[in-house]
C-alpha cells in the first residue's frame, strides 16, 4: 500500500474519531482500521495489484461517511425523536397549532374591529406572528422530545393508556370527515365501518389543555410574545395597550392558578381511576378562579388604550351586561374611546360567562365527589 493510500485512511479515521468520545475512540478506530485493511487486502487479491487511491476511496465509501459510521458506535438514540415518541410529538404540534390559531384569531378580531382600513395589513401581521409562534412551539416540543428520547423518559400516561380514552385520535381518520350524514362510505375490498367519535377523549382534552396552559404560562412570564395583544391599529395609528395595576397585583395568583390547572390535567393523565380526587381538585380550582374573576371585576379598570393624546379605559361594569349593548357591539365610533367601550363590553361578558361556568363546575364536581 502506498503512502498516499495510508494518508487517506488516516484522514478518514481521524474524521471518525473526532465524532467519538475520548474514552472509546482508540478502540473503535483500531477496529475500523482492521476492517478497512481487510477489505483492501481482499481487493488487492482480487485485482492482483495494490489498490489505487481512487479504489481506496471507493472502499471507504462502501464503509460509510465518517459521521454515519461514528453514529453506529455512539451510545444513545440515533435520532432526536424516535418512532415511539414521534406520534406524540406530532399530536402536540397539532394541538399547539390549534391553540395558537385561536389566540391569533382573537387578536386579529380585536385588531379588525379597531380599524377596517388596515385589515389587509392586520391579516398579514397575524399570519406572520402565527408562523413565528408556530416555529417556537415546534422548537420547544422538539427539545422536550429530544430530552425524553435521550434519557428514555416515558410518562405514565404514555404507557398506561385505556381504550375508552382513544376516541379523539379517530379524528385523524379521513373517512370520519369524508362521510356525510346518512351517506354510506364506499370502499374497495372488505367493508369497514368508519370510526364514530362519540365524545371527546379525556386524554386528548388533557393534552390540549396542557399545551394551551403551557403557552399561557410562557406568555405570562414573558417568554412568549404575541404582538397583536400589545397594540391596536386605529385609523393608521398605533394604540398601545397598557395593563392596569390589578394585573401586577394578581401576577403571582394568576400564575399559580394556571400552574394548578396544569397540575390537575397532569393528575388526570396519570391517575385516570381517581375521579373523586379530581373532582375535589376541580372544586378548589373553580373557587380560586371565581375569586380571581371577582377581584379583577371589582377592580373596574383593566386596560388603558393610548394613541397620541387620546386615551380610553377598558373597564368592567355591571351595566355592560346588557343585551342591547351586545346588539350594538361595534356600531360605535372607531376612535380610542369607542374601541375601549367595545372591548369593555366583550371582556365583561367573557368574565360573566366564565364566572357562571365556574359556579357550574363547583356544583357538578361536588356531585361527582359525593355520589356513590
Q: What is the mean pLDDT of residues 73-89?
A: 78
Among 101-110, 282-291, 363-372, where is mean pLDDT lowest? 101-110
Cell 417556537 locates to 136
Distance CA 130, CA 104 (A): 7
What integer pLDDT is reported at residue 168 of this predicted model?
A: 53
Q: What is the mean pLDDT of residues 64-91?
A: 81
Asked if residue 182 has pLDDT above 50, the reply is no
Q: What is the mean pLDDT of residues 105-131?
A: 70
What integer pLDDT is reported at residue 282 of this predicted model?
A: 92
pTM of the model: 0.54
Query: pLDDT tens for residues 316-357?
Result: 888 888 777 666 665 666 677 777 888 888 888 888 988 999
Cell of 308: 397620541
What integer pLDDT is reported at residue 366 of this predicted model?
A: 92
- Tell me the backbone φ, ψ of residue 182, rounded to 5 degrees: 75, 10
What integer pLDDT is reported at residue 105 of this predicted model?
A: 81
Question: Going edge to edge, which strands form the sheet with 237-243?
Answer: 231-234, 237-243, 301-307, 310-315
Cell 393608521 locates to 236
Cell of 120: 389587509
253, 352 contact by CB (below 8 A): no
What integer pLDDT is reported at residue 143 of this predicted model?
A: 86
What integer pLDDT is reported at residue 286 of this predicted model?
A: 93
Considering only residues 319 and 362, tell me which one the structure prediction assigns the higher pLDDT: 362
223, 136 contact by CB (below 8 A): no
Domain positions in the chain are 3-73, 79-157+202-227, 230-372
User: H helices then E strands: how many in the chain?
Assistant: 14, 4
Q: What is the mean pLDDT of residues 85-108?
A: 80
What integer pLDDT is reported at residue 183 of this predicted model?
A: 43
pLDDT band at 76 (very low <50, low <70, confident <90, very high): low
Work out the mean pLDDT of the chain and round it to a whole number: 78
- Give how far the C-alpha of residue 103 lies from the chain's centroid of Cα atoms, to the nearest Å: 13
Q: What is the mean pLDDT of residues 110-137?
A: 72
Q: What is the mean pLDDT of residues 264-268?
A: 86
Query: pLDDT tens for residues 16-61?
Result: 998 888 888 899 999 999 999 999 999 989 988 888 888 999 999 9
Query: Which range has the top average pLDDT, 40-49, 74-83, 268-277?
Result: 40-49
From 37, 51, 44, select the one nearest 9 (Cα to Cα). 37
Q: Could you give the percent of the chain with pLDDT greater than 90?
A: 20
Query: pLDDT tens for residues 191-238?
Result: 444 444 444 456 667 777 787 888 888 888 888 776 556 666 655 567
What integer pLDDT is reported at residue 292 of this predicted model?
A: 94
From 213, 208, 191, 198, select the one nearest 166 (Cα to Cα). 198
From 351, 350, 344, 347, select the one nearest 293 (Cα to Cα). 351
What integer pLDDT is reported at residue 250 of this predicted model?
A: 93
Distance CA 272, CA 157 (A): 9
What integer pLDDT is reported at residue 335 of this predicted model?
A: 72
Q: Is 188 helix (H, G, I), strand (E, B) or coil?
A: coil
Amino acid at each position: 500500500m502506498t503512502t498516499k493510500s495510508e494518508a487517506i485512511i488516516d484522514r478518514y479515521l481521524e474524521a471518525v474519531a473526532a465524532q467519538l468520545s475520548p474514552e472509546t475512540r482508540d478502540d473503535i478506530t483500531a477496529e475500523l482500521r482492521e476492517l478497512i485493511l481487510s477489505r483492501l487486502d481482499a481487493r488487492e487479491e482480487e485485482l492482483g495489484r495494490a489498490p489505487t487511491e481512487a479504489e481506496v476511496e471507493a472502499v471507504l465509501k462502501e464503509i460509510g461517511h465518517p459521521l454515519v459510521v461514528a453514529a453506529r458506535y455512539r451510545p444513545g438514540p440515533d435520532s432526536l425523536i424516535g418512532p415511539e415518541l414521534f406520534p406524540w410529538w406530532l399530536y402536540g404540534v397539532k394541538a399547539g397549532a390549534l391553540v395558537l390559531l385561536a389566540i391569533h384569531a382573537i387578536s386579529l378580531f380585536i385588531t379588525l374591529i379597531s380599524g377596517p382600513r388596515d385589515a389587509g395589513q392586520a391579516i398579514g401581521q397575524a399570519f406572520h406572528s402565527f408562523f413565528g409562534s408556530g416555529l417556537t412551539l415546534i422548537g420547544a416540543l422538539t427539545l422536550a422530545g429530544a430530552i425524553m428520547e435521550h434519557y428514555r423518559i416515558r410518562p405514565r400516561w404514555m404507557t398506561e393508556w385505556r381504550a375508552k380514552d382513544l376516541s379523539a385520535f379517530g379524528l385523524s381518520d379521513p373517512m370520519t370527515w369524508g362521510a356525510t350524514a346518512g351517506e354510506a362510505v364506499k370502499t374497495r375490498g372488505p367493508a369497514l365501518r368508519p370510526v364514530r367519535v362519540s365524545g371527546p377523549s379525556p386524554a386528548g382534552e388533557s393534552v390540549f389543555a396542557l399545551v394551551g396552559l403551557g403557552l399561557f404560562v410562557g406568555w405570562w412570564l414573558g417568554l412568549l410574545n404575541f404582538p397583536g395583544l400589545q397594540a391596536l391599529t386605529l385609523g393608521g395609528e398605533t394604540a398601545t395597550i397598557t395593563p392596569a395595576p390589578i394585573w401586577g397585583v394578581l401576577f403571582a395568583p394568576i400564575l399559580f392558578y394556571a400552574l394548578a390547572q396544569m397540575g390537575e390535567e397532569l393528575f388526570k393523565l396519570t391517575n385516570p381511576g381517581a375521579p373523586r380526587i379530581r373532582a375535589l381538585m376541580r372544586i378548589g380550582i373553580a373557587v380560586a378562579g371565581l375569586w380571581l374573576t371577582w377581584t379583577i371585576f371589582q377592580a373596574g379598570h383593566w386596560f388603558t388604550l393610548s394613541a397620541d393624546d387620546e386615551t380610553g379605559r377598558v373597564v368592567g361594569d355591571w351595566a355592560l351586561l346588557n343585551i342591547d349593548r351586545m346588539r350594538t357591539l361595534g356600531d360605535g365610533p372607531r376612535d380610542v374611546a369607542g374601541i375601549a367601550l367595545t372591548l369593555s363590553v366583550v371582556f365583561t361578558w367573557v368574565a360573566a360567562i366564565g364566572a357562571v361556568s365556574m359556579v357550574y363546575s363547583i356544583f357538578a364536581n361536588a356531585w361527582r365527589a359525593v355520589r356513590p
